[in-house]
């Protein structure tokens, strides 16, 4: 049986419903309203303003239309058309609020109802285009101010108390569903102030059947949720002077007095202003704030929301707000004229003072207005805090029509909206990427409005310290009329943006000059960067991290092309790949030693550059880097030996770090040579072969030396023969070898030549290395050797406690500890026989020789020291084992290692923490100084 016929509506009302953003819902709401209040049916027909407001609200907001259907008296706000067209002031809201709750039996309930009525009024003004975006933000903020003032009135503080608005409230930019961020400040009784703060939060945020007033959040206070709810001005000042994070200072830009006693509010601003506007801004502060934003964007990408989020997504609201606040932090230090709390007003101020081009500010303002209006319409629907575009076509259609788009023969309303949104977001992100640096380039070129002082301030804030050198670099890079020069000028803002994020921006800019100092190199680099921003970012990170990498790129400029394919870069090369490439590279046209040495050097340069790139771009961990550097050296030695065509069985045995496949960028190649054969002529041929191999690997060429190669671990050291037969080694081991020589054989590994001979060599060495009796005298001998090495090799000019190799709890401590355990237990526990320190730590733990906890402590410290040592070299090419002395170098190294906040201090603190823990293990296991340790 068919249901009842829907009631016929007057054509004027029916037309209004049909033109609404969501006709079915508008019709349903109108019918429910007429049923609830029949008298309003006639007004919906006769009063155009009333009709339009009700229908528009029905389509736009489910929560507000449900509210006025449940309580039609809320629509009394539509009675006065003149009032509806005017913006309410703070004073007006305060007076209206006082009237609403003054005589109410339940002031809290009265406050909620008053807020609901006023919110409905603001939404109507918004939907009927009677108020622009700025006015809507001001009225919503004034409404929240009034509610906070009412909450204080209800609470009746007995101590001087004020509420400071933060975030969008402070900026007079509230949304329909914004949290109201506040700080509470007081003078006098702390306990009373906490009571008041708790009561205000309860009145504002506590859910009731009638809803809440505003979600109110005091978590921006010092120490967040764990901090005191209210503080005195002096306590705020103390916190901001000592402990404030950069984002907390950034948040203070929007602070505004909103309720309570003005005198207390003034005292707060007098106390904190010097810490926000101190006269200069630390570049690390800017780095930390920018890094926080980048992490937020990365998180959105991981969640698949970067294209749907209009607030934090690419080209969204946060791009504009973030840029404006960052420029305020930089230039507001010396220019009070750019300290507005609101985004649009601050943007106008920045343009007026010449820090942003007028056209750029205008385009950003227009885009900001559009994006914020989209945000308003999203949140108005259910008064929920959402920033993501809906996924359904119907919801997108409704949103587009709410924003004023209509279907046309050429495109639907939704298509027009999506096109507008895409254009605006592209505009915003494009400006955001150039905003910080394009004005600098114009100023340096003499065509911009920024003063020299402001230019220097901005360069310094973004990590560039020498404006003269920067100007010279930019002039040189962009000079001329070649195609590469024109491209370079176009790319400058992006290049400077990425360089400023690198660990050492000045180094990066200097190196960009060096790798483009010839037309050929400039063309190669600009061609690689032109269409791939990710490649540009990677190159800038490399140039701003490592002097050696920049120098290597200058010799191998086509390596920049390799930065394009991240998947290829991510893939590690195995031993066979290096070996085949080494053989191709060493396919010499002549058989001279110079040719061999030069080819080896070029092969190493190309492949070591690739390893360093993977390392600095976090595509390989420190163990993988050590393995690849070792495989590279192994391939070179193997190919060089094969090229000399040994006339007898001949093998190269790697020792030390080379044997453990744990080379660093500055490691020597420790080797032994063994051959098979009898007679004087064979002996001399083997000796000549070994000497020739040392020359091939270690000779200096015009391109430098490939590796330092060292055969001094052989019997009799530098006085002994370079190569010996296996019988010669066995005779020496059985008669004359010291304990430390057997210790060194723990890391012996075949790398080149005759495999069977090497296998016999390693098998013959094992009984001398691993035997059942390794008593206290041998342990003492190992300990004495360690002390001797430290005494002889630690530079007297360096702080021993900060040496990455020989300092307490560092590489040598850990290696000696591992090797002592291998010597003591290796006879019985064959599984721990490995030349690799890192592998040995895992095996010692799994076999129960070392506790899992101790192994983890040693492994963590070892990886940290090795990576730090590698990066120490990669930064400026210095061969040193100590932490940097200068704070500046420590900061650069700390940034290379991934720290943004206080990188130099964090580097030193982490070094002390990790090596301190490792030293405790070493004291117990190696020296036997703790209960239960090795004796």
From 151-155, 448-452, 497-501, the region with the lowest mean pLDDT: 448-452
Q: How many residues appear in the chain?
A: 935
Angle between helices 811-825 and 852-876 (to 10 degrees): 140
Give yes or no for residue 130 having a pLDDT over 70: yes
* pLDDT, position 931: 46
Q: Say if residues 585 and 635 touch (Cβ distance below 8 Å).
A: no
Nearest to 202 by CA among 259, 160, 148: 148
Q: How confident is the model at residue 593 (pLDDT cuts 50, 70, 90)?
A: low
Give yes or no for residue 477 having a pLDDT over 80: no
Q: How confident is the model at residue 557 (pLDDT cuts 50, 70, 90)?
A: confident
Nearest to 192 by CA among 165, 161, 225, 151: 161
CA distance 590 to 566: 37
Whether the pTM exceeds 0.85: the reply is: no
* pLDDT, position 147: 94
Q: Say if residues 709 and 671 touch (Cβ distance below 8 Å).
A: yes
Residues 727-762 pLDDT 10s: 999 999 999 999 999 999 999 999 999 999 999 999
* pLDDT, position 275: 92
Which residue, chain included where needed, has tokens 């304990």?
A: 739
Between residues 197 and 571, the one the model is more confident about: 197
As a whole number, mean pLDDT of residues 374-400 equals 93
Residue 388 is given by DSSP the state: B
Residue 7 is given by DSSP the state: P
Q: Say if residues 489 and 474 touch (Cβ distance below 8 Å).
A: no
Q: Say if residues 112 and 211 touch (Cβ distance below 8 Å).
A: yes
Structural domains of the chain sorted by starting position, each given as residue range(s) with its CATH number in brackets: 80-276 (3.30.460.10), 283-435 (1.20.120.330), 464-546 (no CATH), 570-769 (3.30.460.10), 776-925 (1.20.120.330)
Nearest to 202 by CA among 111, 288, 71, 128: 111
Residues 262-311 pLDDT 10s: 999 999 999 999 999 988 888 888 888 888 888 888 888 888 888 889 99
* pLDDT, position 589: 43
Residues 639-657 pLDDT 10s: 999 989 999 999 999 999 9
* pLDDT, position 58: 96
Token duo for residue 417 = 């909206």
* pLDDT, position 900: 86
* pLDDT, position 591: 60
Give yes or no for residue 213 having a pLDDT over 70: yes
78: CB partners within 8 A, 6+ apart: 49, 50, 53, 54, 84, 124
Decide: helix, strand or coil at residue 604.
Answer: helix
Q: Chain centroid to CA 694: how far?
A: 45
Give yes or no for residue 935 having a pLDDT over 70: no
Q: How confident is the model at residue 444 (pLDDT cuts 50, 70, 90)?
A: low
Of 102-111, 514-523, 840-849, highest mean pLDDT: 840-849
As a whole number, mean pLDDT of residues 768-786 equals 92
* pLDDT, position 4: 53
Residues 803-827 pLDDT 10s: 999 999 999 999 999 999 999 999 9
Helix (H) or strand (E) holding 850: none
From 153-162, 573-582, 908-917, the region with the lowest mean pLDDT: 573-582
As a whole number, mean pLDDT of residues 385-396 equals 92
Q: How confident is the model at residue 261 (pLDDT cuts 50, 70, 90)?
A: very high
Q: What percent of the chain is helix, strand and coil (3-state, nearest 5)?
A: 65, 5, 30
Average pLDDT score, the chain: 91
* pLDDT, position 761: 98
CA distance 648 to 793: 38
As a whole number, mean pLDDT of residues 104-126 equals 91
Give yes or no for residue 506 having a pLDDT over 60: yes
* pLDDT, position 932: 42
Phi, psi dihedral angles at 309 (to 5 degrees) = -80, 120
Residues 828-886 pLDDT 10s: 999 999 999 999 999 999 999 999 999 999 999 999 999 999 999 999 998 899 999 99
The full DSSP string for 784-849 is HHHHHHHHHHS-TTS-GGGBTTTSTTSHHHHHHHHHHHHHHHTTT-GGG--S-HHHHHHHHHHTTS
CA distance 528 to 558: 9
- Percent of the chain clearing pLDDT 70 (strictly above): 95
Give yes or no for residue 133 having a pLDDT over 60: yes
From 511-520, 866-875, 915-924, the region with the lowest mean pLDDT: 511-520
């Amino acid at each position: 049986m068919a249901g009842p016929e829907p009631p016929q509506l007057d054509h004027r009302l029916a037309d209004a419903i049909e033109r609404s953003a969501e006709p079915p819902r508008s019709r349903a709401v109108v019918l429910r309203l007429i049923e609830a209040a029949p008298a309003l049916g006639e007004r919906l027909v006769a009063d155009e303003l009333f009709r339009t407001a009700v229908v528009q609200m029905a389509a736009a907001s489910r929560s507000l239309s449900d509210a006025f259907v449940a309580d039609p008296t809320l629509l009394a706000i539509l009675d006065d058309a003149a009032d509806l067209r005017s913006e309410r002031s703070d004073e007006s809201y305060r007076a209206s609020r006082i009237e609403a709750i003054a005589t109410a039996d339940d002031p809290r309930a009265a406050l909620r109802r008053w807020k609901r009525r006023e919110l409905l009024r603001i939404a109507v003004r918004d939907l009927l285009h009677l108020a622009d975006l700025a006015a809507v933000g001001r009225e919503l903020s004034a409404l929240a101010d009034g509610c906070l003032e009412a909450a204080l009135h209800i609470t009746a503080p007995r101590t001087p108390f004020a509420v400071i608005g933060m975030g969008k409230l402070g900026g007079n930019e509230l949304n329909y569903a914004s949290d109201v961020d506040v700080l509470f400040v007081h003078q006098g009784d702390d306990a009373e102030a906490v009571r008041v703060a708790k009561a205000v939060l309860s009145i504002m945020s506590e859910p009731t059947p009638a809803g809440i007033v505003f979600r109110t959040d005091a978590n921006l206070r010092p120490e967040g949720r764990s901090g005191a709810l209210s503080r005195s001005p002096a306590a705020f000042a103390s916190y901001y002077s000592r402990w404030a994070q950069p984002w907390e200072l950034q948040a203070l830009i929007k602070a505004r007095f909103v309720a309570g006693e003005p005198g207390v509010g003034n005292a707060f601003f007098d106390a904190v202003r010097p810490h926000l506007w101190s006269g200069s801004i630390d570049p690390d502060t800017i780095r930390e704030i920018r890094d926080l934003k980048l992490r937020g964007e990365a998180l959105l990408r991981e969640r698949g929301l970067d294209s749907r989020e209009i607030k934090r997504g690419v080209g969204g609201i946060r791009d504009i707000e973030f840029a404006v606040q960052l420029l305020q932090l930089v230039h507001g230090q010396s220019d009070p004229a750019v300290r507005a709390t609101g985004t649009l007003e601050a943007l106008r101020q920045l343009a007026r003072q010449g820090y942003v081009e007028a056209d750029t500010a205008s385009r950003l303002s227009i885009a900001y207005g559009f994006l914020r209006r989209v945000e308003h319409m999203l949140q108005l629907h259910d008064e929920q805090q959402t920033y993501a575009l809906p996924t359904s076509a119907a919801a997108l259609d409704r949103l587009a029509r709410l924003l004023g788009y209509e279907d046309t023969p050429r495109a639907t309303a939704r298509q027009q909206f999506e096109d507008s949104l895409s254009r605006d977001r592209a505009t915003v992100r494009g400006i955001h990427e150039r905003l910080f640096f394009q004005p600098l380039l114009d100023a340096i070129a003499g065509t911009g409005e920024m003063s020299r002082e402001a230019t220097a301030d901005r360069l310094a804030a973004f990590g560039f310290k020498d404006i003269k050198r920067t100007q010279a670099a930019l002039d040189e890079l962009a000079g001329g009329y070649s195609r590469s020069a024109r491209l370079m000028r176009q790319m400058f803002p992006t290049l400077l943006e990425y360089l400023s994020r690198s660990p050492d921006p000045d180094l990066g800019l200097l190196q960009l000059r060096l790798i483009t100092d010839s037309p050929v190199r400039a063309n190669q680099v600009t061609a690689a960067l032109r269409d791939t921003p990710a490649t540009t970012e990677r190159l800038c990170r490399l140039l701003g991290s490592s002097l050696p990498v920049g120098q290597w790129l200058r010799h191998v400029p086509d390596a920049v092309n390799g930065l394009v394919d991240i998947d290829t870069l991510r893939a590690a090369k195995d031993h066979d790949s290096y070996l085949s490439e080494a053989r191709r590279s060493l396919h010499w046209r002549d058989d001279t030693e110079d040719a061999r040495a030069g080819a080896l050097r070029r092969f190493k340069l190309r492949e070591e550059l690739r390893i360093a790139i993977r390392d600095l771009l976090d595509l390989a961990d420190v163990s993988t880097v050590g393995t690849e550097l070792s495989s590279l050296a192994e391939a070179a030695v193997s190919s060089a030996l094969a090229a000399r065509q040994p006339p007898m069985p001949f093998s190269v045995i790697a020792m030390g770090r080379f044997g453990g496949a744990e080379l660093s960028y500055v490691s020597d190649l420790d080797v032994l040579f063994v051959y098979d054969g009898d007679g004087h002529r064979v002996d001399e041929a083997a000796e000549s072969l070994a000497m020739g191999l040392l020359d091939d690997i270690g000779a200096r060429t015009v391109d430098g030396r490939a590796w330092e190669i060292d055969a001094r671990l052989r019997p009799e050291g530098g006085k002994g023969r370079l190569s010996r037969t296996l019988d010669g080694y066995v005779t020496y081991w059985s008669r004359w070898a010291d304990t430390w020589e057997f210790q060194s054989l723990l890391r012996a590994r075949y790398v080149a030549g005759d495999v069977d001979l090497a296998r016999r060599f390693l098998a013959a060495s094992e009984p001398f290395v691993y035997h059942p009796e390794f008593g206290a005298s041998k342990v003492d001998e190992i300990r004495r050797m360690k002390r001797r090495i430290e005494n002889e090799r630690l530079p007297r000019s360096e702080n021993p406690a900060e040496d990455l190799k020989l300092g307490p709890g560092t590489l040598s401590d850990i290696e000696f500890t591992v090797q002592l355990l291998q010597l003591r237990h290796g006879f019985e526990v064959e599984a721990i026989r490995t030349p690799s320190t890192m592998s040995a730590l895992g095996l010692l733990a799994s076999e129960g020789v070392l506790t899992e906890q101790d192994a983890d402590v040693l492994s963590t410290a070892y990886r940290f020291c090795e990576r730090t040592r590698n990066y120490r070299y990669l930064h400026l090419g210095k061969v040193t084992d100590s932490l940097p002395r200068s704070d500046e170098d420590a900061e650069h190294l700390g940034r290379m290692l991934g720290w943004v906040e206080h990188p130099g201090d964090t580097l030193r603190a982490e070094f002390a923490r990790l090596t301190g823990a490792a030293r405790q293990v070493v004291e117990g296991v190696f020296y036997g100084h703790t209960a239960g340790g090795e004796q």
